Amino acid sequence: MKIIVVIPTYNEANNVPPLAAELWGLDIPNLSILVVDDNSPDGTADVVDDLVEHSRAEISVMRRPGKMGLGTAYRDGFKKAIEMGADVIIQMDADFSHSPSYIPKMLEELQNCDCVVGSRYVEGGSLDERWSLGRYLLSWWANSIYTRLILGTRQRDTTAGFKAWRRETLQGMGLDRVHSNGYDFQVEMTYLAEKLGYLIVEIPIHFEDRRIGQSKMNMKVKLESALKVWNIMWRHRRLRPQDRMPIAPEIIPAAE
């Protein structure tokens, strides 16, 4: 079973090497890393190239010409991972908010469902201690109440960015149906997967604030994402499990 961890990056040169080391340290056979970099001014892609050259474990970088947003980074990365033959595709941030230590549990759970989500808002999940009560409540309300009420989804952490997908789930969802570009991408993926009848399991995680570098999230982005939830609902409201995309059979080379 081939596992590819897709990591979108914008100015994460100091995070990628220690993150890659932690991922390889898990000792999961056939795990490789695909970094999707948007021409980060801090040279993140060159740092990955250096890793390609100097490490024995598998890592590659997809270079995009400029900052085009998290959503398209994941879409491009997922398509590439499928092309590379991944059976399981893991998505995570580069900044250690998503601890690699949860990955073995995610892979175990994925044997019995279509997608596993590392969740801050199920029992046992938690957020960085440095978050104020107000910030926590706003995030919890946005994720577990506002978005869920509009979309009618079961998933509690609707903007979670730490997930493990079966290849067939992403193929059946049809990545070209996904339009969101920024943080609303996570919400759209959740809604689409649930509408198409895929089984999503949330496992609790502790979400730590980024260790190094700066967040690309701000109040304007949060407000925009909140409005976009309506758009996502409108676009996909009629989808049913029978609307899953057909999965093309593997082309098996004919025997000589």
Ligand X SMILES: Nc1nc2c(ncn2[C@@H]2O[C@H](COP(=O)(O)OP(=O)(O)O)[C@@H](O)[C@H]2O)c(=O)[nH]1
Site for ligand X in 52-111 (CB under 6 A): 67-70, 73, 93-95, 97
CA dihedral over 111, 204, 9, 48, signed as positive or negative? negative
With b for 16 or more beta-carbon neighbours within 10 A and e for fewer, the 95-109 pattern comes to bbbbbbebbeebbeb
Sole window of 2-10, 122-130, 132-140, 247-255 interacting with ligand X (rule: CB under 6 A)? 2-10
Verify binding: residue 157, ligand X, rule CB under 6 A: no
Verify binding: residue 147, Mg ion, rule CB under 5 A: no
Number of residues that bind ligand X (CB under 6 A): 20
Verify binding: residue 144, ligand X, rule CB under 6 A: no
Q: What number of helices (H) and strands (E) belong to the chain?
A: 9, 9
Query: Count of residues for the chain?
Result: 256
Binding mask 187-226 for ligand X (x = CB under 6 A): -----------------------x----xxx---------
Could you say which of 9, 11, 32, 97 contacts Mg ion (CB under 5 A)? 97
Verify binding: residue 8, ligand X, rule CB under 6 A: yes
Which structure tokens are listed for 15? 């995070």
Give the single-character DSSP code of 60: E
Task: Give the separation between CA 15 and CA 107, rounded to whole angstroms.
Answer: 23
Residues that bind Mg ion (CB under 5 A): 93, 95, 97, 210
